[in-house]
Amino acid sequence: MPSIINRVFGPKVQGARVVPLILKIVFIFTFFILLSNFFSNYVNLTMNRGEQIRILNRLLTKDLTDLHVYGQTQRELLEFTGDDAAARSNMEAAARQRFQLEHSMAAGVREDGTFLFHAGLEDRAPETFPDQKALARIRNRASNGRDDGTVQFRVNGEEYLGVYKWHPGWDAFFLRAEREQEFYAGSRRIFAEVSGLIVLVTVVFIVIGALVLRYILRFVPAMTGAIMKMQEEQRLDLLDMSSAPNDDVSYLGIAFNSLASTIDNLMGIFKKFVARDIAQKAYQEREVRLEGSRRDLTILFTDIRSFTYMTETLGTDIIKLLNLHYDRAIRRIHEQQGDIGSIIGDAVLAVFGTVNQNGHNKSHQAIRAGYQVHHVAASLRQRMEERRQEALRGRGHLTEAEKRVYKAVLLQVGVGIDSGEVFYGTIGSEERMTNTVIGDTVNSAARLEGLTRFYQVPVIASGQVKQDIEEEYADYFFLELDTVQVKGKTGGKQIYWPIERSTMSDQLNYNARIFAEGLQLYYEGQWKQAADAFGECDLEVAKVFSQRTRNNTPPPGWNGIWTMNEK
């Protein structure tokens, strides 16, 4: 049903319905055509009613004259017979013979309002003439010398039109009348039939006119639909003008294409330099304001390892390598509804939760994006290895310079993820501004990324990220790595390695269980037993703890928190 309504009356854009131009034209023309036709029909009916009344008066006057003459005859017969009842009955019968409508009436009314006779009122006639005001007008006219004329009166709530004439022989006004509603029934029926015909003819011609208009303006809905789609997708595109007619509407489309081409280029450049939610807001509000707010967001920080060696080895070619990596990595982040907060050389800060999540969990999307960034780096390393093998097959060896370049392009990345409240907004001035995210969560994500080198795991997440995901999803196993106090902080923070359950083999499950047992002993200060457990574990992170617990004795005042002296 909504789709049919939208097709007929136009779709809603930002709460307001965009009514098709054709519908407006058809509605306006229909309204005025019907109004003019109904008005003409009504004027014709009114004029015809005046003529009908004149014809009615002539017919009623003829009937009344005949009844008046017949009444005189009955008066003369009364002189011989003396039968008053018979005379009045004869006059009623004579009057009834001239009736043509169901509610026609004739009567003889004395000056005091009593009936001499009446025909057509047998089942509803009162003892006296019911409309005393009308009778008073008749008497008043008679006193002024007018003993005949037309009259309107009411009987039992019904309006009557009639003519009257004074009969001196009977000392009564003879009256002949027709009920107004019944008399006008024919004209009203004709009016209704003509009105129906007007509507029918109008509808037929409106349909024909609408089809003609639709053909003439066929390009307007196409232009409107295309522009609405652009607005919904927040992009500008060119209108297809290949089948457009040669008129001013087509000129508007061509002018739009010219403007859209320029704006689309500028908008595309703008989106590359700002976060998507900022671009969306600027598109909707037509401005970017210096403002910010507290937001509950998830922060992903990824960094390229051994970057100094890479820049020294590759020189300016490092830009090509970074762009090759970032082009794919940022696409993967965007696919998970993340946004790029900043790119600082070898590091990328991504923010999750700023744009529509489509029902997804921002922390879950961040971890998925983190592993996809690793997959991008792995695919790049695979390509470099293939190039190396090609060179070895061709020449049998690599030069020292080539070995250094090969080592430099083997990208290794670390990912740190934390979630919590941050300040998110636009800072700077009216002349130069930037979108930024500020807060402990941002710093924590950067610190967690740094710890991936130390613990030799691809991704490290905070306890808040673990809690966010485990409330809705079960596709990640969070292996607790340690409780650390990073540089610049005074408290300990539990850190986790999120592992996709689909990738966990029996051996990995075993190693994770042994490591968890060793970590618990480590927290409790039982370092000798912990060292034995870590020695049985094949995980790289277990080697860190084997080295840490090699003396079998925790430091004095041990509380289970390891203090990091490096970022």
pLDDT of residue 103: 81
C-alpha–C-alpha distance, residues 209 and 288, integer Å: 47
One domain for residues 53 and 156: yes
One domain for residues 407 and 529: no
Host H or E run for residue 344 = strand 338-344
Q: 484 in helix, strand or coil? A: strand
One domain for residues 434 and 564: no
One domain for residues 486 and 416: no
One domain for residues 412 and 537: no
What's 554's DSSP letter? P
Please identify, among 166, 187, 208, the residue that sits at the C-terminal boundary of a domain. Answer: 187
Residue with tokens 């039968």: 83
One domain for residues 169 and 313: no
Residue 342, both tokens: 């900043």
In sequence order, the β-bridge partners of residue 106 are 119, 176
* Residue 403 CA from chain centroid, whole number: 59
The four Cα atoms 519, 522, 524, 528 give a dihedral, to 10 degrees, of 130
pLDDT of residue 286: 57
One domain for residues 423 and 480: no
Q: 189 in helix, strand or coil? A: helix
One domain for residues 50 and 163: yes
Nearest to 29 by CA among 207, 216, 193, 247: 207
Q: Give mean pLDDT in consecutive 10-residue pieces for the chain, a chain of 567 residues.
A: 56 53 63 67 61 68 84 83 85 84 85 86 69 88 87 84 88 87 69 73 73 68 70 66 62 67 64 60 57 84 86 83 89 90 88 77 93 91 82 76 78 92 78 78 91 93 93 91 80 91 92 94 93 93 92 87 74
Q: State the residue range of the domain holding 114.
A: 25-187
pLDDT of residue 300: 95
One domain for residues 340 and 395: yes
pLDDT of residue 331: 92
C-alpha–C-alpha distance, residues 61 and 69, integer Å: 12
One domain for residues 434 and 483: no
pLDDT of residue 274: 59
One domain for residues 40 and 183: yes
One domain for residues 425 and 482: no
Please answer whether residues 213 and 30 qualify as being in contact, where contact means their C-beta atoms are separated by less than 8 angstroms. no
Helical H segments across 180-316, by residue range: 180-183, 185-216, 219-233, 248-273, 276-285, 307-314
Cα end-to-end span (Å), the chain: 60
